[in-house]
Structure 1
Amino acid sequence: MANELKAAANPRRSPGRPRDASREKVILTETLALLGELGFAGLTVDAVVARAKVSKATIYRRWATKEELAIAAFDLLPLIEPVETGDIESEIIAYIDQYYGFLRTTPLSSVLPALVSEAMHNPTLAERLNEVVQRRRESGIAMIRRAITRGELPATTPPDIAHELIVGPMLQRSFFEPANFRREDFLVMVRVIVAGLKAVGKATSSAA
């Protein structure tokens, strides 16, 4: 009886309506498009509401701030998954091809500069953006680590710096020299980077 009275006094709340994953994707897709068109400063919840055809309440139930919404939209972009061939040069080329394709066919080339620019004076956004970027770099860094384990690259190779050498030129060309954003140039860069990493290892071994 006591348990029955307790249950009556504290009725179990029925669960709320489950989140609609398809609706979330529409919201994030439209947010991503608006980021590319307007930048972070121009992005507003009202604009997302109009484009996604949802209510403000729907957005704020999922993302409390514009920063959270923008980062969630950025994280919607596909991950780059390295191809394991056992040869670091061919693996980097496959990695570059994916990156090249994403920069040409997704809003990445316009969205990332918008977020980086805002992050320079928005600590909250900077922290969240760094978390996402670091997580998305891990697959590329793991590719370098595997090459070190196989003995293709010297043990002294810093995986994070090697990854920056691979990705940096692509982002620089995409953001600042889009007219010179050519795949054939990146293939030359890959050969130079791999040769340089191997040469540094030989020089280090000779010095030792």
Structure 2
Amino acid sequence: MTEQSAPVESHATAHAENHTPTPVRRGPGRPRHADTEERAYRAVLELFGHRGWAGLSLDGVATHAGIGKSSIYLRWKDKRDLLLDALRDLENRYVNPEETEGMSLRDYLVAHAKARANLYLGEHGPAISHLYSAALANPEEFQEIRQERISKGVLSLEDRVDRAVREGELPKDTPTRQFLDAIEGAILIHVLISSPDTLEDLRAKTDDYVTTLVDMQLRGVGASV
């Protein structure tokens, strides 16, 4: 009886078992950023301020912010949602003057007018200015943004003016909306059409401008200043 010999490993098989292939080292991908949302918010406001609604895209935001496109698309389904979140974040960081006990209507309106002017003259002023024209041209896309961001500030002022009417700070026949429109609109127009030598020069003159504006509107409705 002939003894069966064990199978002989081929040279190729032995080589494969004794030599584990070296893993292929891939080049580093785009690094993940802990501040992805912050970078995206800044980028979308900058692009919206310079290019408007038509020139805004999620791909453009990703490139401008230096963020991977997948990071953008995982968080926001479209540019409207990203812009809305960026505006919410801006409002949270925006110092909105609070009414203190015993604060007069005049001082309250002046504080808000100065804050509004500083917002227009700030880093994201161009985006805020574009917001109004974009909301008018794109009513469906901007319906939620209009309700949350544009109307909210004016409505808070309306409540204070209505209270002033009830408490006798303003005459009973004061047209609240027109009264506030005159202040809000004048500030925006002032910032848009003024052409000072420098932005700092315009900022320096704005406090006096808005104070005079508020006093003029109060006198116009018959309130004492």
Give your verdict on TM over 0.5.
Answer: yes
- Give the aligned partner of residue 165 of structure 2: 148
- 1:79–1:136 contact (8 Å) kept in structure 2: no
Distance in 2 of aligned mates of 1:112 and 1:37: 11
Question: What is the rounded CA distance, in whole Å, between the counterparts of 1:112 and 1:161 in structure 2?
Answer: 21
Aligned residue in 1 for 2:151: 134
Counterpart residue identity of residue 216, structure 2: V
Please report how far the alpha carbon of residue 21 of structure 1 lies from its aligned counterpart in structure 2 after TM superposition.
Answer: 8.7
Indicate conservation of the 8 Å contact 2:171/2:221, yes or no. yes
Cα offset for 1:76?
2.8
Distance 1:190 1:95 in 2: 10
**1:120 partner letter:** L
Q: Note if contact 2:44-2:86 (Cα within 8 Å) is conserved in structure 1.
A: yes
What code does the residue aligned with 1:98 have? A
Q: SS at 1:130's partner residue?
A: helix
Q: Given residue 157 of structure 2, which amino acid in structure 1 is its aligned partner?
A: G
Q: Greater CA radius of gyration, 1 or 2?
A: 2
1:103 correspondence with 2:135? no
Deviations 1:14-70 (A, max 9, x none): xxxxxx994323211221122222222222222211233333232233322222222
CA-to-aligned-CA distance 1:151-183 (integer Å, 9 cap, x gap): 101233233332222211001111233439532
Against the structure 1 CA distance between its residues 131 and 159, is the aligned structure 2 distance closer, same or farther, given a 3 Å change threshold? same
Residue in 2 aligned with 1:159? 176
Give yes or no for the alignment of 1:31 onto 2:44.
Answer: yes
Name the one with the larger helix percent: 1
Query: What is the 5 A alignment of 1:1-208?
Result: 22-77=35-90, 78=94, 80-84=96-100, 85-108=102-125, 110-132=126-148, 133-179=150-196, 182-183=205-206, 184-198=208-222
SS in structure 2 at match of 1:42: coil
How many residues align? The count is 180
Tell me how far apart the structure 1 counterparts of residues 155 and 183 of structure 2 sit (CA, whole Å). Answer: 14
Gaps of 5+ in 1: 1-19, 200-208
Could you tell me how far 1:82 is from its partner in structure 2?
Answer: 4.0
User: CA 1:74–1:170 in 2, change beyond 3 Å: closer, same or farther?
Assistant: same
Structure 1 CA distance, aligned partners of 2:172 and 2:35? 46
Of all paired residues, the percent bearing the same amino acid is 23
Q: Matched residues in 2 for 1:102 and 1:113: separation? A: 10
